[in-house]
Amino acid sequence: MNRVLPAARWTALLVAVAMTARGAAAVAAPGTLHPPEIVLRQLDVLQRVDRVEDLPAGVRSGWHLAEPGAKWNATDTVSDATLPFSRLIFAACTGALCLVHYEHGGIAHTVNVVALARSGDRWTRIWRASGSQPARDLGELRALVRNQSNLRYDDRAGSTMSETPAKMIALASASSGVKRSWKSSIPRITATIGLTYAYVDASAVLAVCIV
Average pLDDT, the chain: 74
Contact between 172 and 86 under an 8 Å Cβ cutoff? The reply is: yes
For 171, list phi and psi in degrees, rounded to 5: -65, -40
- E strands, the chain, are 47-49, 65-66, 86-93, 97-104, 110-119, 122-131
Other C-beta atoms within 10 Å of 191: how many?
10
Give the model confidence (pLDDT) of 190-210 as tens digits. 443 343 343 334 333 333 333
CA 60 to chain centre: 21
Domain boundaries along the sequence of the chain: 7-28+186-210, 37-182
Overall pTM surpassing 0.85 (yes/no): no
